[in-house]
Amino acid sequence: MRPQSISPETYIFRDDGKIPNSNYPILVYRNVFSGRGTEGALWLEHLFKENGWHNFWKWTIYSFHHYHSNTHEVLGVFQGSAEICLGGPTGKKIMIEAGDILVIPAGVAHKCISSSDGFTVVGAYPEGKSPDLIRAEESNHDTAVLRIQQVTVPEQDPVLGNAGGLLKLWI
C-alpha cells in the first residue's frame, strides 16, 4: 500500500558554523499510517524497501544533536511520541507521533528532547548507504561539509516513491 496525495511539512536550516544543515528541507509526513507496534514497524520496512531505502534499524533518536554527513535518513515513528529538535540548538522543536515519517537530508542535525515510554522509530537509508554519526561540533564541520556535497538526491522518496516528495522538493 503506497500513501497517496500526501504533502509534507518542510523545514530548512542553514549552516551555523557547527552544523552544516542543508539546502534541502526536512520533510515531515504526518499521520501516514495507522499500524502500531510490530505491525507498524513491518509496514514501514516494507514501504521503505519498496522505495529503495534499506539498512533498517529500530530504536529511538539520540538525545544529543547529531547528523549524518554521508547519507540522508528516514525515520518512521511506529510507537509513542516525542518532542525533537531539528537543525541544532537554534533550530525548531516539533512533536512527532506514531504514524509520522521524517526525511532528514545529510548534514541536518536532529535530537530527541523528550519522549513517551516506548517511543520507537524505524530508520533507513538509500540503498547501499550506511550512516556516519557526527556530533554537532566546530571541529567536525569543514570535513563534514565536503562529504555532504558528495551526497546525491535519492532515486525515490521513501514515502511517495517516484510520485513526489523529495523528488520535487529537493531538486
Q: Each residue of 120-141: pLDDT tens digit?
A: 999 999 999 999 999 987 788 9
Amino acid at residue number 34: S
- Given the C-alpha cell 520496512, which residue does it identify? 45
Q: Quick one: what percent of the chain has pLDDT higher than 70?
A: 97
Residue 5 pLDDT grade (very low, low, confident, very high; cuts 50, 70, 90): low
Q: What residues make up the domain containing 114?
A: 10-161
Contacts of 165 (CB under 8 A, 6+ apart): 6, 8, 27, 29, 103, 157, 158, 159
Amino acid at residue number 116: S
Number of domains in the chain: 1
For residue 144, the domain's CATH number is 2.60.120.10
Q: Specify the 3-state DSSP secondary structure of 50.
A: helix
Residue 20: inside a domain, yes or no? yes
* DSSP structure class, residue 158: T
Strand 53-59 vs strand 101-104: parallel, antiparallel, or unpaired?
A: unpaired
Residue 53: inside a domain, yes or no? yes
Residue 54: inside a domain, yes or no? yes
What pLDDT shows up at residue 3? 58
84-98, pLDDT tens digit by residue? 999 999 999 999 999
Closest CA to 92 of 77, 102, 78: 102
- The pTM (predicted TM-score) of the whole model is 0.95
What pLDDT shows up at residue 1? 44
Residue 41: inside a domain, yes or no? yes
